[in-house]
Structure 1
């Protein structure tokens, strides 16, 4: 799943305010986990992440569904890789220099390989097309992570909702729920059966019994309805949802009227701008002035001018789109920059803005 994904909520339950736990989880996954990974049973230690990332090789490539391929990434020398937990993702640097985020969807106990899956989106930002067209077995890539903005808390009762390629972060959670003996249920939706990846793996999970897995293609059952999906939740269940915007919005809209206890979610497309006000960007080096409408992000406007503008998650999480502001007041909406970074003029242009009618000058 590309990390054009979802703004991860600043709060674990989808509330529109940050909380200390989410800040702790982000810092923990970014810094502490890679530092404390232990040697494996053969005494080998994972390679230490560097400032430029970890170089891996594509060891296998498989077609998982229409327009979906999975890549198995390993260390060139076969060394074990840093540990990860369900919901985690990698920052993948492509040969072109693009950086995209993809969920880890393999087995978390496999210390020697990471698996990601990518749906080809011809009209997207070019990352998925590059993966499909250029990465073959033997290709070298650089990754950073794993990091986790969508952690699985392993509540006793869980409903998993996945739309299309949104199955990628959810699949390891389902495996973990099955391993722990939780009361779980999975619904996987999408356009057609042929478009839904990992059918064989989901069949294996379904074989565990209890009617725990439902496959609901749109062409057979209609577009997913949030209230009906939430009606499948075990009593008092936590809900984990990843999918396209309309599905996620439908689930969020119906959540308060459901019997579920908590909602954890992740988008894989940029969230719509909320409470936006028009402002301007001035590019210091060229002097160009770019209007930013109320319903578009600063990143959208920069991309329209220069499609090579760096970005990845479009949720204020990864930091790839960070720029420096030379003058102007920033309405920070990312929740990840430190106070010092903000004081130094840093801005994440995918989500942050400026007060109505004002102008930000970027060091571009």
Structure 2
């Protein structure tokens, strides 16, 4: 079966062109102006160079218009997603550095499964700053055409959608917008790895306090939080009310606690009221996608369940975590959210298989040899 791969959050390159005017509020970033397209995500040498993180994070953030509920790039900045249909901008998000994301599963597909990029293995990278409901550049239309082309050039063989993490949410939202007749013709199955079906407490951490992937230097955290807080995708991956109890604490502070039903109060209290609207606009129907589903995830690793802030720490300091089982990033109960579809009308016609891989982390799910060999049997 031909395969279309949708990467996770931050799992593909982004490019930008920058043209700032000397009288703009960002005049201190004029040296970032470019004549040609350059890699914005990810260029680690640029990001980690002393003094660069502030301009980088400011120029990459999205602007949200509360009146139109639409998003736009920062003034003077254009962003595009390179490598549509190919896998090279997913295999390495920073070619000059060891930022090897999809590379292991890609190499395995090329060498062990007999796949070839652009022939029967295709990439569907996206602008991961946006959630699935607000993707720019006609993403769903382009994905539909990519799947149809993959189907046609493989002698009418239906396509497997293989997705990691947020890529599973992107694929699910796309499938919800297609007719059943179209899905029956063009899609063989949806195979997801580490998808946070019910959201992730880690994204609440990122929006509240910033998360720098282990680089917890104060000089990094504030600029990165600004970018994370202004990206709709973070809110799209908040834990979903209904999957968390009404009295279950997500965020504990010295002044008050917050549940998944109190995002409006939480956003108001951190001085980012628009965040509630950004979250609300990201909600969509999470019912059965109308195709066969194989849902795989890592398990039995300590994973944030509650964020705990001491006196004077909320929200500008890093929280402590109360943990439960998960894949180090997403809780098991969220990773197993696809199981809800089993006992539905569509679930009897389009079966849902759920499988755990103990002690495999969120990102190792696209690298672990046991997982890759398992995938080989079903793709």
Q: Give the TM-score taking structure 1 as reference length.
A: 0.30
Greater per-residue helix proportion: 2
Greater per-residue strand proportion: 1
Q: Give the TM-score taking structure 2 as reference length.
A: 0.29
